[in-house]
Amino acid sequence: MNRVLLSLFAVAAVSLVTLNVFSQPARDPRPDTDLAAGQKAAAGKPKHPPAAPDRKVQQDLPKDVPSYLQDISVTIHAGNAQGSGTIYTRGGVNYVWTAAHVLEGLRTTREVIDPRTGSKKTVVEFKDAKIVKELVEDGRSVGKMEMDAEVVRYSNADTGEDLALLRVRKKNFVSTSAVFYLEDKIPTVGTKLLHCGSLRGQMGSNSMTEGIMSQLGRVRDGVVYDQTTCTAFPGSSGGGVYLKDGRYVGMIVRGAGETFNLIVPQRRLVKWAKKVGVEFAVNPAVGCPKCDLELKRLPVEDESPGGAHRAESAKGNMTFLIHRLEPKKNMLDVFNK
């Protein structure tokens, strides 16, 4: 009898062990780390492909707009011509946006023989411009800083876009930088604007005026301009026009009276900057050239037709707002009279 009971207990114990083993969930043969990674990936897998990254970068707007405009505005000296410019800073390098007609006196050409073909070709070169920043302290002018700047991009005023970009040869000339308006929405007619430029040249450097956007999309010789009532004089050419928050919306280039002025809208400037490989000088989301060779991959002068300022149109009543200095008199000529 005892033997029978022991046999029954043994059978029952084996049955319980077998039942416990088969009741356990099947274990994945993969290592725990692989399984966890796979489960995490499956849980986090999006239903739709991820969107392309947004190239916009949050730009800090100035708190003191008048002081900021004083910091980014300079007078440009190009031979006997004086105009205005706006500084854009990237990585300790200062670039200056201005109008090409301010710099036209710096452009030279020479004939050379192409060693590959043996034929003549014309080489276009530019002398350096002078960038002058006037210093004011305690309500008084206390001096000037003057730096050389090379022309890195240029589109002429007769058949091009009348735009130019300079690079100051001294690094960290200033630390402040212009903030460009990069939104798709165009500022509407009636928007309040500011202009900061060198009215009447160096003697009126960094003069601030105000006005409104008086019209959009003026088409002259096939090129689009916006119109502003911001007061401008000869010397204003190349100077920036800004929203009240300090963002750059255009460049003054022409006028037919103190408050009837045409500007290159920033939408046209940005489009040209992309075309000639210098978008980095308006948009912080675009990478800078890693070396001079990369920047100089394209020629300095953009020779493609843009139709901006035809030579014949310059004879009309919309004149370039450039300040020209009187040529210095030779003292021998004075005595010989």
Per-residue pLDDT, 218: 92
Q: CA-CA distance, 181 to 178, in Å (whole number)?
A: 10
Give the single-character DSSP code of 151.
E
What is the pTM for the complete model shown? 0.76
Query: CB atoms < 10 A from the CB of 150, how many?
Result: 15
Q: Which has more confidence, 28 or 253?
A: 253
Taking alpha carbons only, the member of 147, 103, 110, 105 closest to residue 125 is: 110
| Cα-to-chain-centroid distance, residue 246 | 14
The arithmetic mean of pLDDT across residues 69-90, rounded, is 95
Q: Give the contacts of 216 (CB within 8 A, at least 6 positions apart).
A: 186, 188, 189, 226, 227, 265
Q: Which tokens is 257 given?
A: 């009276």
The string of pLDDT tens digits covering residues 20-59 is 444 444 444 444 444 444 444 444 444 433 433 445 677 8
The rounded mean pLDDT for the chain is: 80
- How many other C-beta atoms can be found within 10 angstroms of the C-beta atom of residue 191? 16
Cα(102)–Cα(155) distance, integer angstroms: 12
Instruction: Please give the average per-residue pLDDT across 210-236, as a whole number.
Output: 93
Number of neighbours of residue 172 by Cβ within 10 angstroms: 11
Query: What's the pLDDT tens digit per position in 151-172?
Result: 999 998 888 899 999 999 999 9
Q: Which residue has the higher pLDDT, 189 or 112?
A: 189
Is the separation of the CB atoms in 265 and 249 below 8 Å? yes
CA distance 147 to 95: 12
**Predicted pLDDT of residue 48:** 39
Q: What is the pLDDT of residue 327?
A: 64
The end-to-end CA distance of the chain, in Å, is 153
List CB contacts of 128: < 8 A, sequence separation 6 or more. 106, 148, 149, 150, 151, 169
Domains of the chain and CATH, by start? 65-304+319-324 (2.40.10.120)
- Cα distances from 336 to residues 31, 92, 331, in angstroms, run 102, 52, 9
